Structure 1
């Protein structure tokens, strides 16, 4: 076998082997598209960091044929207006070179997105960086200034990308409304992505099905609540279900490392390092049918795993807990009487904490 083919098989197949067999169909990183290739510079993008390149990007995307293809972004600093956003279409790959940076233009909008992936399918985004404008934001309200917004989309892969300093989330996945009905996102893969220093969440997983997140990091989220590395929190009217978070680093976030909130179900968190978050390592509030297994959960300020009222059918097994801090009562000025590693509230059901968890102070 020639070296190029060996590298291709290693890069595409080996990551899949680490995931549950049930998830294999969702985890192909290459999506269907045509062979056309368009360079954004051919449509007027300068990449000089000062001229607005939003329209040039959109022109290149809109120029793809019906069969789709690849829009290539060479190295450079591309100023993007997130109020207008760059809207991706079906059957396309937005391929950023390692030296390509999409720089969000300062704005005062409560909702603004560098890239929008809405009501489309077979989309791939890879390479380079997206840098938000939280440090130059012109307003004080809102929490929805995202790097990538995925809504009602299917078969979307985001890989080998760095997303930082967004006013809201690095990446947000959720549903869209069509004719009064909610259309959840489906078959979303996040792999080898870094979300760093975003204001609200590193990654939000809202109304969705079959989401896979692996080999990625979510760090230093702070600025507005919830402030989680990853927040699985669907809005009312639908659920987030069939989510796997595997082999990820989740650290130094203002809130919980990973939060599983109401209407989150069938979530597996495995083989992750979840440490030094100011809240819990993992916090579940009215979540259902979840597995927390094989993780390193340590040095989290409010405890390792917190299971709160309404949570049911959760398994916590095979984890390594160390030096997690107890929840603290400001009113009483003393630590709360909770297990610092796994705390289980009343009004939870069918919680299983395995004997194979390991604990150290």
Structure 2
């Protein structure tokens, strides 16, 4: 990752950023970002900094954005189907930490689109997102994906640590075309507004894949869709020591995915089933999880003789699915 912090740190207010919740601070903040040397840090004091997501704050390689707990980047109301508060595209060695990002879903000027994200990471490498709170985005709290074109460039070596994404419209977190993504100790909560409405959705675009994904010690709770969805072309995914509770859909919905491990998770009180493995998935291991209270609304439709179906439901066409005896069903 980045070299040790250098003495040079720039203050956003020195470039004219007001943080008064009224002035558009996009130009001033971008000027401060552009002035950073390699290894430099932009420091943002408490305040409400209005950002135009149609222009985005575009971060540069080998820089840090350091916000205080009282810093809020507030998305200006817009009608764009695609807009991002922070854009980390085609760069490397970037860190963003502290503060809050507040999207415009309460004031969005259109009913179209679903890509108004808090943070978009696209075709970037060695990115750390840490200690952030992201809410009310028109699309996703965070989206990680690739750059499309004549040469597809995935994102690589992405770490998301101690982040809260709550109350966003489409997903808490989308993981698209990428390699080596780690999501640690984060909370993906209360996603609702448009499909899929998941806490985390692993769904690379056609022609790409998501490979080597680790999700550990996270909470996926109260989402309108599944807590976690693996759509297609997801490989080597590990979900370990997570709390996946109270989602309206399935706790974990695996439409696809290969070489996946679900281990030592607490999967309970989801509206549909605990884990669903559909026919597109293969080589799935379900190990040492604790299941309770899932599919309460569906139980009347299934005979009690089919004990356990509400917790783990595997399609007959899924291949190489292992349900270990050390799972606990209550």
TM-score, length of structure 1 as denominator length: 0.88
Equivalent residue number for residue 316 of structure 2: 346
> Could you tell me which residue of structure 2 aligns to residue 51 of structure 1?
23
Identify which range, 31-40 or 184-193, moves more after superposition. 31-40
Among candidates 101, 123, 129, match of residue 152 of structure 1: 123
Deviations 1:200-258 (A, max 9, x none): 00000000000000111000000000000000110111100100000001100000000
Tell me the distance in 1 between the aligned counterparts of 2:44 and 2:69: 9
Matches of 1:335 and 1:85, distance apart in 2: 50
Give the equivalent residue in structure 1 for 2:51: 80
| TM-score normalised over the length of structure 2 | 0.96
Give 1:186 deviation, angstroms.
Answer: 0.2
The 5 A counterparts of 1:30-49 are 31-32=2-3, 35=6, 36-49=8-21
The answer to whether the Cα contact below 8 Å between 1:174 and 1:185 also exists between their aligned partners in 2 is yes
Deviation at 1:334, TM superposition (A): 3.9
Please give the alpha-carbon distance, in whole angstroms, between the structure 2 residues aligned to 1:129 and 1:121: 22
Would the alpha carbon gap of residues 139 and 290 (structure 1) be closer, same or farther in structure 2, given more than 3 Å must change? same
Alpha-carbon distance in structure 2 between the residues aligned to 1:107 and 1:317? 46
Partner of 1:90: 61
* Post-superposition offset of 1:31: 2.6
Aligned to 2:180: 210
User: 74, 77, 86: which is aligned to 1:103?
Assistant: 74
- Deviation for aligned residue 1:335: 5.3
RMSD across aligned positions (CA): 1.6
8 Å contact from structure 1 (residues 33, 91) kept in 2: no
Instruction: Compute the displacement of 1:346 (Å).
Output: 2.0
Q: Secondary structure at the match of 2:148?
A: strand
Question: Which of 265, 276, 280 is 2:246 aligned to?
Answer: 276
Task: Spell out the pairing of 1:148-297 with structure 2 (5 A cutoff).
Answer: 148-177=119-148, 180-297=150-267
Runs of 4+ with >6 A deviation: none
Q: Hey, which of these two has a bigger chunk of helix by percent?
A: 1
Deviation at 1:68, TM superposition (A): 3.6
Matching residue of 1:115: 86
**What are structure 1's unaligned runs of at least 5 residues?**
1-29
Distance 2:211 2:65 in 1: 27
Q: Which residue of 2 aligns with 1:304?
A: 274
How many residues are treated as equivalent by the alignment?
A: 326
Once the two structures are TM-superposed, the CA of residue 32 in structure 1 deviates from its matched residue by: 3.3
Match of 1:31, SS state, is coil
Other-structure match for 1:133: 104
